[in-house]
Structure formats: C-alpha cells, structure tokens
Structure 1
Amino acid sequence: MNAMDNTSCFLFSISLLASFFIVCLSSSITNLTTDQFALLAFRDHITHDPEDVLASNWSTTSSVCNWVGVSCGLRHHRVIALNLSRMGLQGTIAPHLGNLSFLASLDISHNNFNGYVPQELARLHRSKEIRLQYNNFSGEVPSWFGILPQLHQLHLNKNSFTGTIPKSLGNISKLELLDIRNNSLHGNIPKEIGNLSKLEMLHLSFNKLTGSIPSSIFNVSSLKSIDFTNNSISGSLPMDICSHLPKLEGLYLSLNNLHGQIPSNLYKCKEFQYLSLSFNNFSGNIPREIGNLTMLKGLYLGINNLKGVIPSEIGNLQRLEVMNLINSSLTGSIPSSIFNISSLRIIDLTYNSLSGSLPIDMCSHHPKLGGLYLSSNQLNGQIPSNLCKCRELQILSLSLNGFNGSIPREIGNLTMLKELYLGQNNLKGVFPSEIGNLQRLEVMSLINSSLTGSIPSSIFNISSLRIIDLTDNSLSRSLPIDMCSHLPKLGGLHLSSNQLNGQIPSNLCKCRELQILSLSLNGFNGSIPREIGNLTMLKELYLGRNNLKGAILPY
C-alpha cells in the first residue's frame, strides 16, 4: 500500500469517528431534550408553587441538569432523580413524567398533589424509589407498580387511596419497603405479599383492611417491621408466628379484632424491640416466654381479654422502656422483679385487679421512670416514701385503690412531677405542705381521701397548676385572701364537700383562666364576691350548700 492509500484510510477513519461522535452527541441532546419537555410538562401541571421555585429556576436557558430538584447521571447525562419534597406544591402529576426513562428516584412527598397517579409512570422501569407520601392522591393504588422490576421502596402513606391492595405488588421481587399507611383501603391483605422475599418494612396501618393476616407473611424471613395497626383485621395469630422471622424488630397489631391466645412462640423473634397487641380480643394468660425477648423496649398488651398474673419473667427484660398492660383483668401482685428494670420510663397497669402492696424500695432502681400508672386496682398498704428516688417522675397515678396511711412528705422531692393522682384511697392525715415544692405540677387530684387540716398556702404558689381537685375530704379553715395571685393557668378549682369556712376570697378574679369553680358543700360565709363577675372564662359555678348571704348580684 502506497503513502496515498495510507492517507486516504486515515482520513476515512477520522471521518467515521467524527460521524459517530456527532450521532452520539445528537442522541444525547435529543434524549436530554425529551427529559426537559417531560419536566416542563410536569411544571405546567403545578397550580401553586408558593416560592415560585419552578417558575423561576426551571428555564430553557439553563441545562435541565442544573434545575432545582433535578439530578443527572454522569454517564448518559439523563435525569436520574427528581426530588421536590416539602415545597408546598399543588397540582396533579403530568403523564409526561413517564418519559423520564432513566429516572431511578422520584420524591414529591410532603406536598399537596392530588388526583390519580397516571398510568404512564409504568414506563419508569429503572425506578428504585418512589415517594408519594403526604399528599392527597386518590383512586386505587395502581396495579402497574407490580411491573417495576427495580423498585426497592414504595411510599404511598398519608394519601386518599381507596380500593384494595393490588395482588400485583407481590411481583416486585426487589421490594424492601412497602408503606401504604393512612389511606382508605379495604378488603383483605393479599397473600401474594408473602412472595416478597426481600421485604423488610410492611406498613399498612390506619386503613380499613379486613380478614385474617395471610400466613405467608410470617414466612418472609427478611422482615424487620410489620405494622397493621388500626384496621379491622380478625382471626388468630399462628402458633409458630416467629419460626421464620429472625430479623423482626417490631410487630404492631393494636386496634384490630384479633383473638385467640398470644403465641408463646413469640420468644423466637429474638430481635424484637416493640410488641404492640393492645386493643384486640386476645384471651388467656400472658406467655411467660415473653421474658426471653431480651431486646424488647416496648410491650403493649392492654385492653384485651387476658387473665391471670403478670409473669415474673417480665423482670428479665432489662432493656424495657414502656410496659403497658392496662385494662386486662390481671390479678395477683406486681412482681418485684419489674421494679428492678432500670430502663423503664413508663409502667401502666391501670384498670386491672392487681392486689398486694408496693415494695418499700420500689424506686431504688428506676432512675428513668417518668410515668407510674397504677390507678383502678386493688393495691393496698402504704404509699412508699421511697417514691422520691424516682426523680424523673412526671405522672404519678395511684387513685382508686386501697392505699392507707398518710401521704408521704417525700413526694415533695419529686420536682419533675406534673400530674399527681392519689384520690379515692383510704388515706388519712394532713395535706403535706411539701407538695408546694412541686413547681412544675399541673394537675393535683386528691379527691375522697379523708384528708384533714388546712390546705397548705404553699399550694397556691405553684404557678403551673391547671387543676386542683380536693373534693370530698375533711379539709378545714379558710382560703388565703391572695390565693389566686400566683395561679395564672388555673382552669379548675374543685373544693366541694369539705369543711372549709371563712369568706370566698375576692382575689379569685385573678385566676383569669378559671373555667370551673366548685366550692359547694362547705361552710363559707359572707356574700358572693362581686369580683367573680370578672372571671370571663368561667363555664361552671358551684357555690351552693354554704352559709352565704346577701343578694345575687347582676355582675
């Protein structure tokens, strides 16, 4: 081959490469233009953009890859992600969005989009994540989600979807998260959901779902969280529920119509952190095996048809933070082992038939306890003075029991306390003045407790108080004439059925938030103060059965 042939061959090669580059560049520009048209059509379907971000920023004078909320891939220079969450946008989704053929992530959550999700989005075959939550989308959940092979996360919660859950969702083999909470879905949970072998989060709470839970779901070994709260799901739980759920951390089934016994097999869910079965119709005993769930933080079994005792094995749950067993017909004493769980923040055993006394050292191991709810039981004995060691206590509810003795003065050391309920017990003695130290107290209810003596003046210096209820005691003497000088938030003053006397203080007018004033069935004398007419928020006034005199004045 001569020199001229070599030159001709070289020039031909250069020409071929240049043509290939021009074709690729043209194709890239054309495809990016397709993405631009799709996004501009999307923008045109926005009816309200409070910050005018899209109107000002999404301009044909700049590259689509520089637009707010848009991300492009380095290789093909195509739109791969659209994130317009929390921008206050209103409107509908343009079907043209389905032309973003390289889109992997779509996030328009926390806006005010409405209408149907268009069928054209079924062309987004590269989508790995679709976030439509916290909008007002309506219509049925699109069945075409089932043909998106790369989808990992599907967020549809907090919308207005109706109809049933499509069976086709069981075809999304790579799906890890399915969240359809807070919609208006009805019908059964499709058994096909059990085909999702990579599913980790299944959240269907706050819908209108019925029927039983498909057993196939309890075979998805990848599941970490199952949330079916607040539906109308019925049936019983399989006795081997945890045989194939080694990773399950949360099971939320409260507010349904489930029945039968709580499976003892639950102990095999070794990673359990939250077990919520309250507000159902479960019967039988609390399984002792629950004591083996050593990772458990939250236990909610209240408002069922349970019976029997609280298993002492619950004391083994050394990471437990919340124990809620309210209204469950439980009997026997509270196991002392529970008072050794130092991680507990809330103990709620209200409305049971628990008996026995509280350990005198009950708060020696509760540095974090913020709420102790033991009302409406059959507990007796004295209220332990050791309560003062629960220094984080904000709510103490011991009313409607059989506690006797006096109110421990040490309660005045609970400086974090906001609500105190000790009424309807067999208490006696005087009202401890130390309660006046509780400068965060908002509610004080000591009704029907046989208390004697005067009301300590220190009580009327607790400026945070909203409710004082000392009804039906034997408290005597008069009220301080400046009683409302330091009670700017007081909304309810209940002092009826005592032996209080003296004049009704005119200073009451300074309790400007007072809505209920109940002083009847005492020995108050004198006239009704004119200043009561300044209590413009007052809704209920009870002054009868006293020794008052004078005319009813036209305030």
Structure 2
Amino acid sequence: MNYNTCFHLLSLLFIQCSIVSLAMTVRNLNSDQFALFEFKDRIVDPQNVLANNWTNSTSVCKWVGVSCGIIHETVVALNLTNMNLRGTNPPHLGNPSFLFSIDLSNNNFYGHLPKEFGQLHHLRIIRLSYNRLNGEIPSWLRNLHRVQRIHFRDNSLSGGLPDDLCVHLPKLKELYLSRNELSSSIPSSINKCCNLQILELSINQFNGIIPKSIRNLTQVKQLYLGLNNLEGQIPEEIGNLFSLEMLNIQAIKGLTGQIPTSIFNISSLKTIALSRNSLLGSLSNDMCQHLPELEGLYLHSNELSGNIPSSIGKCNNLKNLLLSHNQFMGIIPRSIGNLTRLQELYLGFNNLEGQIPEEIGNLLGLELLTIKAIKGLMIPTSIFNISSLKTIDLSNNSLSGSLPNDMCQHLPKLEGLYLSRNELSGNIPSSISKCNNLKILAFSYNQLTGIIPRSIGNLTRLKELYLGLNNLEGQILEEISNLFSLEMLGIQAIKGLTGQIPTSIFNIYSLKTIALSSNSLLGSLPNDMCQHLLKLEGLY
C-alpha cells in the first residue's frame, strides 16, 4: 500500500470518527436540553428568568445558569441559586449524565429528593441548602462515589444518617447538614469519611454520644455539633484532629465533664466554641501554651470553676474572650492586658473578686467590655482611654468612687455605657456630652449627686436614658428635648427632683416609654401632651 492510499484511508477514518463524535455530542446536548426543558416546565419561575432565557433559539450552553464542558460540550454544571424557584425537584435532572455540579440553593424547592439524582455518577458538588426539602437523607447518595461536597443545610430533612454513608463516599470533603430535623445517633462509621474537611451537623436532634471514632477525621478543619440532644462528654480523641481550626459544640445541656486538655494542644485552632453546655472543672494552667492562632474562646454559660489561668495572656491573637456565667473565682489576671488584639471581653456573672486590673487599659482594640454582677470590684480610669470601645458594661457590681471628669475625652465610638446598680457617687460629669455617639446611657441605682448636666442634651443619638434611683436634685432640664431619637426616658425615684415636667419632652415623637414616677415633680400636664407621642406605650 503506497503512501497516498494510506493517507486517504487515515483521513477517511478521522472524518468518520469526527462525524460519530459530533453526532454523540449533538445527541448528548439534545438529551440535556430536553431534560432541562422538562425541569423548567415543572417548576414555578416567578421572575421568568428561565422562561425568557431557556429557549430553542439559544444554545443550551448559553442558557443562564448552565455551563458546558470544553471538550465534549455537554452540560456539566447547573447553578440556579437565589432565583425564588418553587416546586419539587423533577426527576429529569438525573438525566444529564455528565453533570459535575448542581446548585439549587436559596430557592423554595420542597418534597423528597428524586432517586434519579443517584444516576449522576460524575457529580462532585451538590448544593441544595436553604430550601424546604423533607424526608430522609436519600439512600441514592451512596451511588455518588465521586462526590466531594454535599450541602443540604437549612431544610426539613429527618431520620438518621445512613450507617454506611461514609463507606461509599471516600472522597467527601464537605458535609453540611445543619438546621434540619435529623435524629438518631451520629454513626461511628463517620470516620470512613477520612477526607472530610468540614462536618456540620449542628441544630438538629441528634442524640447519644459523640463517637470516639471521630479521631480518624484528621483532615477536618471545621467541626459543628452544637444545638443537638447529645450527651456524655467531649471525647479526648478530638485532640487528634490536628488540622482543626473551628471547634463548635454549643448549647447541649447533656454535655458534661471536663474540657479535654488535649483540645488545647491543637495548634491550628482559631475558634473554640463550647458555650452553654454543662461543662465542669477548671481550665489548665498552660491552656494557651500551644494555641498561637486562637482568635475566639467561647466558654460562657457553663459550670467551670477555679481561677482564670494567668497564662491566658499567651493567647495573644485572641479577639473574643467570653468566660461569663460560670463559677470562676479569684482575681482577674493582670496578664489579660497582654491580649492587645482583643475586641470583646466578657467576664461577668462569676465569683471573681479584687479589682479590675489597670492593665485592661492596654487593650487598645477593645470594643466591648462586660464585667457585671461581680461584687467588690473597683473601676480603673485607664478603661476610659480605650478609644476603640463601643460598649462598656460594668453594671451590677459594687463599683464605688466618682466618675472621672474627662471620662468621655477618649471615647468617640462609645455607643453603650452601662454603670447601673453600683455604688458610684459624685456628679455626673458635664463632659458626658463628648460621648456623642452614645445610644444607651444607664446610670440608675447608684449614689450620684448634683444636678443632671445640661450637656446631656448634646447626646442627640441617645435612644435610652436611665438616671433613676440616685441622689440627684434640681429639675429635669429642657435640654433633654434635644434628644430627638430617644425611645426610653427613665428618671425615677429621686426625691430631690422637683419642678415641672418640661413640656418639650412631649415633643419627642420617638418616645415609647416615659418613666418619671416616685419623684417630687409639680405642676400640671399640658392639654396637648399626646399630640406628638404616637409611639408612646408606657407613661409612668
């Protein structure tokens, strides 16, 4: 056979293969197009996005939400998020056999997931979160051996996790099942999902214990188990999850025992959220020795006791520290002043004593300071130099002494100042007006004396004002009428407060509550007092 004959035969073979390939591509595209037309015809599309775009006059590969492969030109991805689509998931979506990714999240699909989805053997990603799907987790999921991401959060799925789910999904990296109605126990076979990086099971009705086999999920970075009906203890084996960045096991009253010390050896951790459980015991002295990345430590609302470790100062990346509503005792360690990146600090409702350390003044990034319901504490003036503060809540302590005259000199961002139920004395500083972003000012239940300063009328963003149960005297000032955003005015039980109620108060249309009872106020009420008080709900 000469060269020309061979060349012609090869050319003919190539042309025939190209024709066959083209025919297969056309057939696949036609099949995909038909399946998507069937899907469109069986759902409600209130914005008519699909009705106007998915037409015969346009190639299926150019339809909104549709992506095709480069080589074979078949539909490989379907992304129809946030379109307010309604209806059941039609079985026809199981027909595009080369579908790689399907995302129907943030719509109003309801009912069971069709078994035809189990035919999508090429599927890597399935996102159906934020819909109204119900029924059990379908058994056909185990057919999707290549799937890496399953997102079913915020639906109404019920039943338990299939025991062998992870046996058939060795490549699974993300499993989002939170905010459903799933029950039964977490299967010990969860460890077979050995490539998992995110496991989200929170806000369901899972019961039983946290399985010890979870130790094998060594690639997990985020673990969410909170708000379930679990019981028992946090297993020590969680300490094996050396890639863990987020540990979130919150609001489980059946969760008791001590916090495993092994958790504090996971150097990759950025967040430890174990609040609102029934955890006992004390924190280890060296808890921050191996947590260089930790940014959030949420341990509030447990039954933890002992001292706050002085080594807390070594968690120097902390931004949020919440230890309130426990039984911690002893003093607030001075080393807390080393947490210079701290933004929120909650220490209230413990059995602490002594003084609030001056070193708190070093926390120059602090936005929220809450230390309340702790008897015997003193207030350091350095707090008023933290210019980043948005909220100071030191209420319900035994704070004594007077407020510094320049307390608002360095608090330009302060929105909430809660100092009620203490033993503060002296005058209300006239410089209070320099806290001109204040929305809530609570000074009630103290021993403050003198008059209400006229400068308080400059706090034009104020929404709530509480000055009652003090030893103030004089009159309620006309300047209060400048507070055009005020919703709550509480100046009660001050016998030294005399004179008439300023009529201008009744012009503050935003007021919902006026509480001026148990004073020594005189005079009559204006005839048109309710003319501008359309929102008023309480008049005391």
The TM-score, its normalising length taken from structure 2, stands at 0.77
In structure 2, the partner of 1:550 is 474
Residue identity opposite 1:307 in structure 2: E
1:253 to 152, 177, 181: 177
2:370 to 437, 445, 451: 445
Note if 1:382 corresponds to 2:315: no
Q: Sequence identity of aligned pairs in percent? A: 53
Contact 2:50 2:64 in 1 (8 A): no
Q: Is 2:77 the partner of 1:153?
A: yes
Q: CA deviation at 1:219?
A: 2.7
- 2:65 alignment partner, one of 126, 132, 149: 132
Q: How does 1:55-94 map to 2 (within 5 A)?
A: none
Of the three residues 119, 135, 138, the one matched with 1:195 is 119
**Superposed CA offset, 1:133-157 (max 9, x none):** 9xxxxxxxxxxxxxx9921111111
Q: Which amino acid aligns with 1:334?
A: I
SS in 2 for 1:185: strand
Q: How many Å separate the matches in 2 of 1:544 and 1:119?
A: 64
Deviation at 1:256, TM superposition (A): 0.6
How large is the Cα RMSD of the aligned pairs? 2.1
**2:137/2:162 contact within 8 Å kept:** no
Query: What residue identity is the alignment partner of 2:298?
Result: Y
Contact 1:128 1:152 in 2 (8 A): no
Matching of residues 294-373 of structure 1 within 5 Å: 294-329=218-253, 330-373=255-298
**From 452, 457, 460, the counterpart of 2:384:** 460
- For residue 91 of structure 2, the aligned residue among 147, 167, 187 is 167
Is the 8 Å Cα contact of residues 307 and 331 (structure 1) preserved in structure 2?
Answer: yes
Contact 1:186 1:208 in 2 (8 A): yes
Write the mapping of 1:187-266 to structure 2, written as runs, cut at 5 A: 187-266=111-190
State which of 325, 348, 364 in structure 2 corresponds to 1:423. 348
Structure 1 residues 129 and 334 mapped into 2: Cα distance closer, same or farther (>3 Å)? farther
**Paired position in structure 1 for 2:48:** 115
Check conservation: 2:119, 2:143, Cα contact below 8 A.
no
The equivalent position to 1:411 in structure 2, one of 336, 346, 353, is 336
CA contact (8 A) 1:130 1:154 kept: no
The one-letter amino acid paired with 1:180 is L
Secondary structure of residue in 2 paired with 1:211 = strand
CA deviations 1:442-480 (Å, max 9, x no partner) are 000001112423x21111111111110001111111111
Q: 1:362 to 1:131 in 2, by over 3 A?
A: farther
> Where does structure 1 lack aligned partners over 5 or more consecutive residues?
1-75, 81-97, 102-112, 134-147
**CA drift at 1:213:** 1.6
Shift of 1:494: 0.5
Deviations 1:78-125 (A, max 9, x none): xx9xxxxxxxxxxxxxxxxx9xx9xxxxxxxxxxx9414249847599
Q: Structure 1 residues 433 and 369, CA, compared in 2 at 3 Å: closer, same or farther?
A: same
Counterpart CA distance in 2 for 1:551 and 1:356 is 53
CA distance, structure 2, for counterparts of residue 126 and residue 281 of structure 1:
46
Q: Which amino acid aligns with 1:324?
A: N
User: Contact 1:129–1:153 at 8 Å: present in 2 too?
Assistant: no
Relative to 1, partners in 2 of residues 1:149 and 1:234: Cα closer, same or farther, differing over 3 Å?
farther
Task: Tell which deviates more after alignment, 349-358 or 185-194.
Answer: 185-194
Tell me if the contact between 2:53 and 2:63 (Cα under 8 Å) persists in the aligned partners.
no
Question: Contact 2:299/2:322 (CA < 8 Å) preserved in 1?
Answer: yes
**Superposed displacement of residue 426, structure 1:** 0.1
Query: 1:212 & 1:422 partners in 2: Cα distance?
Result: 43
Residues 40-84 of structure 1, C-alpha deviations (whole Å, 9 max, x = no match):
xxxxxxxxxxxxxxxxxxxxxxxxxxxxxxxxxxxx9xxx9xxxx
Counterpart secondary structure, 1:281? coil
Give the distance between the partners of 1:457 and 1:176, measured in 2 at CA: 61
The alignment partner of 2:182 has SS state of strand
Distance in 2 between the 1:519 and 1:120 partners? 62
Distance of 1:428 and 1:373 partners within structure 2? 21
**CA–CA distance in 2 between the matches of 1:168 and 1:539?**
56
Matched, 1:280 2:280: no
What displacement does 1:531 show?
A: 0.8
Distance 1:120 1:325, change over 3 A: closer
Counterpart secondary structure, 1:460: helix
Separation in 1 of the partners of 2:366 and 2:205? Answer: 37
Query: Which of residues 270, 286, 293 is equivalent to 2:217?
Result: 293
Does the 8 Å contact 2:271/2:296 carry over to 1? Answer: yes
Using a 3 Å threshold, how does the CA distance of structure 1 residues 152 and 462 change in structure 2: closer, same or farther? same
**1:539 and 2:466 matched:** no
Displacement of 1:126 = 7.6
Cα separation, 2, equivalents of 1:241 and 1:450: 53
2-structure distance, mates of 1:310, 1:131: 47
Displacement, 1:221?
Answer: 0.6
Distance change in 2, residues 1:255/1:409 (3 Å): same
Matched, 1:400 2:325: yes
| Aligned pairs for 1:25-64 within 5 A | none
Match of residue 186, structure 1, among 93, 100, 110: 110
Give the CA deviation at 1:132.
2.4
For residues 369 and 416 of structure 1, what CA distance do their matches in structure 2 show? Answer: 11
- How far off is 1:339 after superposition? 0.2
Tell me how far apart the structure 2 counterparts of residues 247 and 270 of structure 1 sit (CA, whole Å).
8
Give runs of ≥4 in structure 1 deviating > 3 Å.
Answer: 118-131
Q: Distance in 2 between matches of 1:346 and 1:360?
A: 19
| Contact 2:282-2:304 within 8 A present in 1 as well | yes
Following TM superposition, by how much is the alpha carbon of 1:431 offset from its aligned partner in structure 2, in angstroms?
A: 1.0
CA distance in 2, matches of 1:222, 1:359: 43
CA-CA distance at 1:518 after TM superposition: 0.8
Q: Does the C-alpha gap of structure 1 residues 406 and 120 become closer, same or farther in structure 2, counting only changes over 3 Å?
A: closer
Range that drifts further, 434-443 or 123-132: 123-132
